[in-house]
Chains A and B, each alone.
Chain A
Amino acid sequence: MLGYNQFRGVIVKRRWNWLVWLGFAMAILAAYSYLFLFIRFPITRDFPWVNLTLFLVAGCLLGVGLYRAFAQPGQYRGRVSGPILAVLSLGILGLFYYGTFYLARHLPPGENALRVGQPAPDFALADIDGRMVTLSQLRQGKRAVLLIFYRGYW
């Protein structure tokens, strides 16, 4: 795109504002890398600090890119694409935050559960071979039994 450079008074080609695009790409990476990489490791999954840091980097890149677009419009492009990419990046951050800080914590309170010291109710449930298994049977000859309730895959 050709633009008017006020200092020189000549038509010059304005430079591609790659920072806003890099910032946007970083925001996508920040969200996707959690789903496909950082969710695998407890240290980066329990609290998504790596991904929030990547979002911060994305914000800095977008910030500098937007500053260039608006403070030096004669030299840099991005006065239209910059704000659009910034809003999209904010949207990605919003979705990421909603998923990890709201949806993932939207669980029934633990207070409903049986307490330590209470007897564990016996049960008879089918294992993967369809055989009935009871808790009392499982306890036989073991020092302890760990019951893991999980959401399942339905």
Chain B
Amino acid sequence: MAISVDSPEESRKLCQSQGYTFPFLSDPNAATIRAYGVLHPHAGEDGHDIARPAEFLVDRTGTIRWENLTENLLARLRPETVSHVLDGMLADGAVRGK
């Protein structure tokens, strides 16, 4: 799922325009963003704190199994990278299949 400081209304507009069907969660005061250590202070509108782009893969026990912290806004995670990582983890038995 996706997490940002956007309001639910703003996320709804994004989901509708892009056809996203996975959950979009709203973290308006960036508490969760801060808890994961991915805050980008004062980078938003009017100097608001926002999230830096980051992805975490959490297994069913609640442990972070993989993460991606880009150093370049333009170089984003590709879906095939995630499926590749998941396949590798399934093979390792780190994440049991359903």
B90 with A143: CB separation less than 8 A: yes
- A149 to B43: give the CA distance in the assembly, Å: 14
Residues of B within 8 A of A123 (CB): 25, 27, 31-32, 35
- A105 to B11: give the CA distance in the assembly, Å: 25
- A117 to B52: give the CA distance in the assembly, Å: 21
Task: Render B21-58 as a binary contact track against A, CB cut-off 8 A, 1 for contact.
Answer: 00111110001110111111101110010111111111
A120 with B56: CB separation less than 8 A: yes
Task: Name the CB-closest residue of A to B23.
Answer: A127
Residue among A117, A123, A130 with the highest chain B CB neighbour number at 10 A: A123
A113 with B37: CB separation less than 8 A: yes
Residues of B within 8 A of A112 (CB): 37-39
Indicate the size class of the contact surface on chain A.
35 or more
B62 with A135: CB separation less than 8 A: yes
Distance in Å: Cβ of B64 to nearest Cβ of chain A? 5
B4 with A125: CB separation less than 8 A: no
- A88 to B59: give the CA distance in the assembly, Å: 53
Distance in Å: Cβ of A104 to nearest Cβ of chain B? 4
- A110 to B32: give the CA distance in the assembly, Å: 16
A113 with B6: CB separation less than 8 A: no
Contact for A152 among B5, B38, B57, B66, CB less than 8 A: B5
The 4 A-B pairs with the shortest beta carbon distances in the complex, nearest first, are: A110-B69, A152-B4, A125-B25, A152-B6
A-B contact pairs, 6 of them (CB 8 A): A42-B78, A110-B71, A123-B25, A141-B98, A150-B51, A152-B10
Besides A119-B64, A148-B54, A151-B52, 6 other A-B contacts (C-beta < 8 A): A118-B63, A123-B25, A147-B55, A149-B36, A150-B51, A152-B44
List A residues at the B interface (Cβ < 8 Å): 39, 42, 45-48, 100, 103-105, 107-108, 110, 112-123, 125-130, 133, 135-136, 138-139, 141-154
